[in-house]
Amino acid sequence: MSVDRSGKWWIGTTPNDIKQYLEAYSAEGCSAHEFRQAKCGCGGETFELFADDNEGCAKRTCTSCGAEQFICDSEEFWSEATPEKWKCIECGSTSANIGVGFSLYEDGEVRWLYVGERCSNCGVLGCFAGWKVAYTPSKQLLERV
């Protein structure tokens, strides 16, 4: 991982740099212990991202094949959501790599999750949404990115 922190925004060179960004982003609160990168069934790693931070839900659309995938348990909350489309703060691109950082309880259940992104055009890293997971069992969410 080689994240450039020298400018206004953190810039990542690979999708896995989202992990380093989310670890730093979450350090003052519910620290992210686990990370999963989003990959489409077609093999694609770039997506459009939609999320509602208030409702705690997000969905990704593959830029290669158009397949849509709810992130973690988002489908349960989507009908009440008013999702916003992610757009890079630097270049305006709407295509990104997506990764989810998970804060876990000692028993491995999910406490909090962070939906991070890396602009596939300019590399700017960020966290578009995050929410508390207030139920168990929740370990299955780690595999639903």
**61 touches 136 (CB < 8 A):** no
Read off the pLDDT band of 2 (50, 70, 90).
confident
- pLDDT of 1 higher than 70: no
Identify the pLDDT of residue 32. 96
Pairwise CA distance, residues 105 & 120, whole Å: 32
Q: Coil, helix or strand for 140? A: helix
DSSP-assigned letter for residue 29: S
Give rounded-to-5 percent helix, strand, coil for the chain: 15, 35, 50
Q: Which of 141, 37, 45 is nearest to 99 (CA)?
A: 37
Mean pLDDT of all residues in 5-27: 96
φ, ψ for residue 111, nearest 5 deg: -100, -45
Within 10 angstroms of residue 134's Cβ, the number of other Cβ atoms is 10
Q: Coil, helix or strand for 11? A: strand
Within 10 angstroms of residue 3's Cβ, the number of other Cβ atoms is 19
pLDDT in tens, 53-83: 999 999 999 999 999 999 999 999 999 999 9
pLDDT in tens, 84-126: 999 999 999 999 999 999 999 999 999 999 999 999 999 999 9
Read off the pLDDT band of 37 (50, 70, 90).
very high
All structural domains of the chain with their residue ranges: 17-143
Pairwise CA distance, residues 3 & 13, whole Å: 7
Pairwise CA distance, residues 55 & 58, whole Å: 9
